[in-house]
Amino acid sequence: MSVTVFKRKMSGLVRRSKSVYQFASVALLSSLPNRCQLCQHRVEQLDYQRLFPNQVLSGICQVCLAASLYQHEVCLGCGREISQLQAYCGKCLKHTPMLVVAPCSYHQGLGPLIAAIKYQQQCAPINAITQQLATRVSQLIEHKLIRAPQVLVPVPLHPNRLRERGFNQAWLIAHRLSQLLGIPIDDGSLTRMVDTAPQADLSGKQRRKNCRNAFSLSAHFPYQRIALIDDVVTTGTTVEEIARLFTQQHVYVQTWCLARAEAPGLLD
């Protein structure tokens, strides 16, 4: 048998093995106990795998997921409701803030799940919500409202926080997005130098002071367009501080997250 024929046969075997593995993984995960963390009902796959082949819905049921997603178009600048698919509302057009892409509002259903990912290690819903984020990103790219980045950059944790928590949820989201969208990850160029206090209970002024000079970026970053990846964007203090470093190197920045926490009163 020639080397070429052998390689061809081995390549086919590997492809079939991957296919069998994916099928077995889906079948196994589908059979495990799986409860929605919002309504506590059993998560049924129904037509989810038809919409997203080889994906298993876990941690959240289709009803709760569908109800929590944006039911209208939103401004990618501030998050307010807008009447048609476009990047910015009239107010944001005047100063074109950094684009923030999210599939839902933190305040309208998924907030408890996203908080539980970070603080309680309840990671089951990450895949399903990240799938919705990937779908939203693809829609915006298709309509030329955003440009596809060259690389995904997860917001880093300080080594102390990483040891304490055991994982970086932003990296998990970026890894899944990389698989879904085929965009590589750079998780070595951006580092968190300061072990900042948790942002949750801080005012906007305190958040800005807390994040100032907390990050460091490699001097010769090799990309021109990136997407910063995080679990939730609230005041935007963290991503704006990071974006400042990239802008100094003439790198275009947008932010992708599982949910955004809009300013008080914006959704009223």
**121 pLDDT tier (thresholds 50, 70, 90):** confident
pTM of the model: 0.81
Q: Are 66 and 133 in contact (CB under 8 A)?
A: no
Q: Domains along the chain?
A: 1-68 (no CATH), 72-260 (3.40.50)
Angle at CA 113, nearest 5°, toward 44 and 155? Answer: 120
Q: Is residue 215 a contact partner of residue 190, using CB atoms and an 8 Å limit?
A: yes
Taking the C-alpha atoms of residue 127 and residue 119, their distance in angstroms, rounded to an integer, is 17
Q: Within 13 Å and on the Cβ side, how many CA atoms surround 203?
A: 2
Confidence of residue 33 (pLDDT cuts 50, 70, 90): low
Residue 65 has a pLDDT of: 93
